[in-house]
Structure 1
Amino acid sequence: MNGAIKETHFQFPGQKGFYKGKVRDVYMFDKTIAVVATDRISAFDVVLPKPIPYKGQVLNQIAAKFLKATADIVPNWVTSTPDPNVTVGKKCEPFKVEMVIRGYLAGHAAREYASGKRTICGVALPEGLRENDKLPNPIITPTTKADEGHDEDISKEAILEKGIVSPEDYAILEKYTHSLFQKGTEIASEMGLILVDTKYEFGKFNGEIYLIDEIHTPDSSRYFYADGYEANQKQGKAQKQLSKEFVRQWLISNGFQGKEGQNIPDMPNSFVEEISERYIELYEKITGEKFVKADTGNLGKRIEMAVLKEIGEG
């Protein structure tokens, strides 16, 4: 097995705080954050026990590519990517909502629709849609950004009524979300893919709105292969996806869906290697570039030195 990093416990000069997400370790400084994309993998809101070699590098480099490709649409938080697993940028104050945008009736929205709902997050949907059908127009279905527990669906009206985001700022977030999704759709199309749905997060730095976190990665987005999409819909077949759905399906087949009382099945090393290979395949398909494996001989030290060098210069 190649080296993989599950968690980090660095202590940097001038460090003001630390936050451990499902996948990322975030080191906070005065006006800067250093985000380490670890090789952790989560499913059903649970972090699985074994790290996946190169997964962090895959996500970090996909996000870097797409943040750069959309910088003309909205300014983003990134100032540098000093290591394949590290991004350094502005410490923004995040909005407490995630802007989820959907071009197709898939995933959570499809399940809600199948249960009889015709309004999702305050957005009305027409009758007669089938799972994975293209929507008449992309729709924004925001969620709350919970500090603990699950994010929950919320409508634009409730966001404004509760004062979570001001009307002026929300209008900007909506505009940015639609523009980013359009750009993501165009890039995906060039790669023979369909960007089905995704989410964007935004924050403020010195009063200006910035795009934060990652974008258009297989952890934050759903892709279908364009080839065969129409035929599959006509025949009522499942769409070929480019996502980590195969990991969820393996867990389900081994009796785990994140429910109380269920135990996480032990992933054999062969399956861990398969996940790693699939993530590399995702990288190459989404970016159109060959994946170059970084040296993982002393991964923790390599990451630590990259951050030290960057914050020292900053």
Structure 2
Amino acid sequence: MSLADQVLAVNDDLPIRTDKPVHSGKVRSVYWLTEEDSRRLIKEKGYNVQPDAPLAIMVISDRISAFDCIWHAEGGLKGVPGKGAALNAISNHWFKLFRENGLADSHILDIPHPFVWIVQKAKPVMVEAICRQYITGSMWRAYSQGERNFCGIELPEGLEKDQKLPELLMTPSTKGILTGIPGVPEVDDVNVTRSDLENNFEAFNFRSADDIGRYEQLLEEGFDVISKELAALDQIFVDTKFEFGYVTDAKGNEKLIYMDEVGTPDSSRIWDGAAYRDGEIIENSKEGFRQMLLNHFPDPDILLNKDRMDERFALARDNELPVDALMNLSKTYTEIAAKITGNKIQLSQNPKAEIIAVLRDEYGLID
């Protein structure tokens, strides 16, 4: 079996019973179950949700997205072997720890296969909750060009690249295009301040102004749980993105939960501790792949400049990367997943056939 066969690149063509269009994102595809199937599964499996809660099957892929584009390699390799399973395994591990530490639940109700989650519908908070413990990446680029105010927080002079910040920094940005909020541009992914959230909490889908404090608490506690666990493995949790939403449990209690993925090499920067102490940065995250792309192409501005998106999409579409670029990333993902979870990531021989079998035989979702 070829390497390309072991990669799940297309994940929106599974024969899962649904009466709605399949929503396919950069990495995951979402299949909304029929009302009948949702009710049946809630009853059969005893999920802690309302009897009429809409459920979905969320299938991850091995696609690799960077700079808002999907990349591929020579030889028909359209993803990173082991990436999907590694991302899900890491998220599952952190979500379980969050529950054990009494923080909050996630949107995941069941894990039928390493590539698959059964999730409940949540009303998302329209904030990408970004936490930073070190100054690097886009924040360092802005700081080095003289910017000192980030999301209403003033940074001191004299910080150096990759230095630990005086305190954990929360720098939220908009999730999607929000309209009619004073002082917040109507574009995706723009930084907002805490006072923007407080003054317009309903526009950001918060139930109350008090929930802003609750989201910050969950952000800080979640970051702390992951950071301590990684420190025990001599890994540094540099920065990350969390997403939140509201759901209602079986007893009718509405609660704020974690959603999407957490603490993964896709949503976070993770550095090797020993290398950092020696003055070197070894990325155990997607950041290394981003750097490779910036070095690989003669005009890196295409990847950094949002005014050149058409050129960027063409670059990703028309260029086959060296196979090594994706295999190095595969090693990064699978090794950090094994380190975090304590379990080796097994590559599926045929992930699509496995998913179809389990959803048909154990969940009755495929005819």
**2:122 corresponds to 1:68:** no
Aligned-residue CA RMSD (Å) = 2.1
Correspondent of 2:196 among 155, 158, 162: 158
On the 8 A contact 1:28/1:91 being kept in 2, the answer is: no
Residue ranges of structure 2 left out of the alignment (5+ in a row): 36-53, 73-77, 179-186, 249-253
Letter matched to residue 340 of structure 2: I
Equivalent-residue separation in structure 1 for 2:31 and 2:218 (angstroms): 27
On the 8 A contact 2:284/2:333 being kept in 1, the answer is: no
Correspondent of 1:247 among 283, 289, 295: 289
Q: Which range moved further: 140-149 or 36-45? A: 140-149
* Offset from partner CA, 1:206-238 (integer Å, 9 cap, x none): 221111111110000111222142441xxxxx5
Equivalent-residue separation in structure 2 for 1:56 and 1:28 (angstroms): 20
1:15 shift after superposition: 4.3
Query: TM-score, normalised on structure 1?
Result: 0.90
State the identity %: 29
On the 8 A contact 1:97/1:142 being kept in 2, the answer is: yes
Structure 2 CA distance for partners of 1:82 and 1:137, relative to 1, 3 Å: same
Letter matched to residue 227 of structure 1: A
**2:7 corresponds to 1:4:** yes
Correspondent of 2:211 among 158, 169, 194: 169
Structure 2 CA distance for partners of 1:80 and 1:11, relative to 1, 3 Å: same
On the 8 A contact 1:86/1:307 being kept in 2, the answer is: no
Query: TM-score, normalised on structure 2?
Result: 0.77
* Offset from partner CA, 1:260-314 (integer Å, 9 cap, x none): 4252331233433333223212222333x24131432x3212123333456538x
2:163 aligned partner? 133
Letter matched to residue 64 of structure 2: I
1:51 shift after superposition: 1.2
**2:144 corresponds to 1:114:** yes
What is the correspondence of 1:1-314 to structure 2 with a 5 Å cutoff?
1-2=2-3, 3-8=6-11, 9-29=13-33, 30=35, 31-49=54-72, 50-71=78-99, 72-146=102-176, 150-163=188-201, 164=204, 165=206, 166-206=208-248, 207-232=254-279, 238-255=280-297, 257-258=302-303, 259=308, 260-262=310-312, 263-264=315-316, 265-287=319-341, 289-296=342-349, 298-309=350-361, 311-312=363-364
On the 8 A contact 2:28/2:61 being kept in 1, the answer is: yes
Q: Which range moved further: 250-259 or 110-119? A: 250-259
* Offset from partner CA, 1:51-107 (integer Å, 9 cap, x none): 111111111111111111111211111111110111112111111111111111121
Structure 2 CA distance for partners of 1:292 and 1:284, relative to 1, 3 Å: closer
Structure 2 CA distance for partners of 1:250 and 1:89, relative to 1, 3 Å: same
Letter matched to residue 159 of structure 1: L
Structure 2 CA distance for partners of 1:11 and 1:160, relative to 1, 3 Å: farther
Residue ranges of structure 1 left out of the alignment (5+ in a row): 233-237
Aligned length: 306
Equivalent-residue separation in structure 2 for 1:147 and 1:7 (angstroms): 27
1:18 shift after superposition: 2.3
Tell me the secondary structure at the aligned position of residue 312 of structure 1: coil
Q: Which has the larger radius of gyration?
A: 2
Letter matched to residue 266 of structure 2: D
